[in-house]
Amino acid sequence: MAIDDQTRPVDAPRPRVGRNAELRSPLRYPGGKRQLVPFFVDLLKLNGKSPLDLFIEPFAGGAAVSLHLLAAGLVERVVLADLDPLVYAFWHQACFRTEQLVADIAAADVTLAEWHKLRAAPGKTLREKAYACLFLNRTSYSGILQGRAGPIGGQKQQSKYKIDCRFYKDEIIHRLRQLGELAADGRIAAVRRTDVRATVRWVEETYSQTQRLYYFDPPFWEKGERLYRKAFGHADHKRLAKLLIGLQAPWALSYDYHEEIVDLYRASVQAGGGGHSDLVPVGKPRLHTADLLYCNRHEKRGATELIITNLADVPSEHVNAT
């Protein structure tokens, strides 16, 4: 690892992230929701709120939607939160200690030995954890940081694709510096390591006067425990439903489609469309579905995504007719 360097070297490029820029997440996140970007772009436009003051992702993961909306100038600021200490450390360092993480990535030894070392002990400091998160994410199958997910290329590295095949240092560093720029401009308002309920409580206390939209993307109902280091069991899904049904601020939620989830929200659901706009929550959540395509090394799989929101108007071209 490189020596501690909290300041940006004078000769380091400072790529300005203008409005209408493209910013992709440095993380290849399992269950990442980049496919929902067009839905959110049109949701904001439809509700006459672009740019929006604040977009909040309490289950940030790779934060694909937040970063796109931010770089495109469709939202002014974002709050990112995730309970996983490695994921939190990544966002903290990427945003507020960018050049440290850049130096660590530039110096990274992208080998199987390093992969085993970091899997066994991801580190204690924020700096070490952030590096471990990004390294393991870009060198493990499907970006999974835990469990049985092995290194890309396998333990024997006999595959055509080796452990470093997704570790494009220049591109990762470019994305990190874009993030640092946005954070320096105050557009990444906060990065937090909090449970979803604590995040919502904090945002409602801190930004009650701000025009805001939450995007909740919890771990999958099915198989979530295989993908993420933080477990989210049935009781957690239930508690989340209770929290959201009572939340007055505008929100949207996405899920893998399961009748059990529909049941959690159905009791309070209003059917049909509505005439509201201006990002005014309608009070009761409404259910929609959308078709997504998930790809991994074995397959391309179509899946139905459940989208629940307390906004009246959703862009009909992105959701299935009901």
Pairwise CA distance, residues 141 & 66, whole Å:
24
Among 82, 128, 181, 256, binds ligand SAM (CB under 6 A): 82
The one segment of 53-61, 127-135, 263-271, 278-286 that binds ligand SAM by CB under 6 A: 53-61
Residues in a beta bridge with 162: none
Q: Of these, 17, 23, 26, 29, which contacts ligand SAM (CB under 6 A)?
A: 29
* Residues present in the chain in total: 322
Angle between helices 98-106 and 126-139 (to 10 degrees): 50
What is the x/- site pattern for ligand SAM, positions 220-249, by CB under 6 A?
Answer: --------x-x-x-----------------
Confirm or reject binding of residue 284 to ligand SAM (CB under 6 A). Answer: no
The distance of Cα 140 from the centroid of its chain, to the nearest Å, equals 18
**Quick check: 143 binds ligand SAM (CB under 6 A)?**
no
Beta carbons of 155 and 44 less than 8 angstroms apart? no
Q: What is the DSSP letter of 2?
A: P
Q: Is 64 in the site for ligand SAM (CB under 6 A)?
A: yes
Other beta carbons within 10 Å of 228: 25
Q: Which residue has the tokens 């839905």?
A: 39
Helix (H) or strand (E) holding 266: helix 259-266
Instruction: Select 8 or 166, whichever has its Cβ closest to ligand SAM.
Output: 166
Query: Quick check: 84 binds ligand SAM (CB under 6 A)?
Result: yes
Out of 23, 26, 52, 62, point to the residue binding ligand SAM (CB under 6 A): 62
User: Applying CB under 6 A, does 33 fall inside the site for ligand SAM?
Assistant: yes
Cβ nearer to ligand SAM, comparing 152 with 240? 240
Nearer to ligand SAM, 88 or 265 (CB): 88
**Shortest reach from residue 246's CB to ligand SAM, in Å:** 17
Decide whether 58 or 250 has the Cβ nearer to ligand SAM: 58
Q: Which one, of 316, 305, 279, lies nearest residue 52 by Cα?
A: 279
For ligand SAM, the closer CB: 58 or 180: 58
- Report yes or no: 34 and 138 within 8 Å, Cβ to Cβ: no
The answer to whether 122 contacts ligand SAM (rule: CB under 6 A) is no
Residue closer to ligand SAM (CB basis): 165 or 292: 292
The piece of 76-84, 111-119, 204-212, 270-278 that touches ligand SAM (CB under 6 A) is 76-84
From the list 42-50, 67-75, 77-85, 155-163, the region that binds ligand SAM by CB under 6 A is 77-85
Torsion angles phi and psi, residue 52, rounded to 5: -90, 150
Give the Cα separation of 47 and 175 in Å (integer).
Answer: 30
Q: In what order do the strands lie in the sheet with 188-192?
A: 188-192, 75-81, 52-57, 212-216, 251-256, 300-311, 281-295
By CB under 6 A, is residue 251 in contact with ligand SAM?
no
Beta strands in 217-280 (DSSP E): 251-256
Residues that bind ligand SAM (CB under 6 A): 29, 31-33, 58-59, 61-64, 82-84, 87, 195-196, 217-219, 228, 230, 232
